């Protein structure tokens, strides 16, 4: 049995979970999220907590129920606190801004890079080189950050590009004469 899966998910005050069959909706002060739990996983409300367990004794069910528990836990944290990812743009001439619901970056190419920001996520750019991505869905915030970073990942010789805040980029030694 999984140690992570055995722990109940505590529901803080101000959060309203709704369990109907395999569908779970979490409503909180920042918004509402929903997820469909796998059929091999059972979920029960136990006072102010949710308990997850495998329905069958199969290996797949034992692997899935901790995953479903963590998905619901992340949803509860998202509707109460929210999630934030920070990106840094490093390099001469590399900069970005937001125009309406579009991320626009001058990233050293012959053209501007445009990325349409999905609903549920906000992107803010401070001083043209610091990008902050916020939202209530952890997966969506992380995916938007990865998509923006993917336009110009940091290169290994000078470190230019878009990187996560605090990310270490190992700089390689260049050619020698």
Query: Quick check: do 3-80 and 83-164 share a fold?
Result: yes
Domain ranges, ordered by start, for the chain: 3-80, 83-164
Task: Report how far residue 64's alpha carbon sits from residue 127's, in angstroms, rounded to the nearest whole number.
Answer: 43
CA-CA-CA-CA dihedral for 138, 126, 166, 85, to nearest 10 = 0
Q: What's the pLDDT tens digit per position in 49-108?
A: 999 999 989 999 999 999 999 999 999 999 999 999 999 999 999 999 999 999 999 999
3-state helix, strand, coil in the chain (%, to 5): 20, 40, 40
Q: What is the CATH number of domain 83-164?
A: 3.90.930.12
Domain 3-80: give its CATH code.
3.90.930.12
| pTM attached to this predicted model | 0.89
pLDDT digits (tens, 9 = 90+) for 19-60: 998 999 999 999 999 999 999 999 998 889 999 999 989 999
């Amino acid at each position: 049995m999984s140690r992570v899966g055995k722990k109940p998910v505590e529901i803080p005050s101000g959060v309203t979970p709704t369990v109907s069959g395999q569908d779970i909706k979490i409503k909180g002060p920042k918004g509402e999220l929903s997820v469909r739990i796998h059929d091999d996983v059972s979920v029960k409300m136990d006072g102010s907590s949710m308990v997850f367990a495998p329905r069958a004794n199969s290996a797949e069910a034992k692997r899935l129920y901790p995953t479903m528990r963590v998905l619901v836990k992340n949803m509860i944290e998202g509707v109460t606190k929210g999630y934030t990812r920070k990106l840094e743009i490093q390099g001469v001439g590399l900069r970005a801004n937001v125009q309406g619901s579009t991320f626009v970056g001058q990233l050293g190419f012959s053209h501007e890079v445009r990325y349409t920001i999905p609903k549920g996520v906000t992107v803010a750019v401070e001083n043209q080189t610091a990008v902050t991505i916020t939202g209530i869905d952890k997966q969506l915030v992380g995916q938007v950050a990865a998509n923006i970073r993917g336009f110009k990942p940091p290169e290994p010789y000078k470190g230019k590009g878009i990187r996560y805040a605090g990310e270490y980029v190992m700089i390689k030694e260049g050619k020698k004469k």
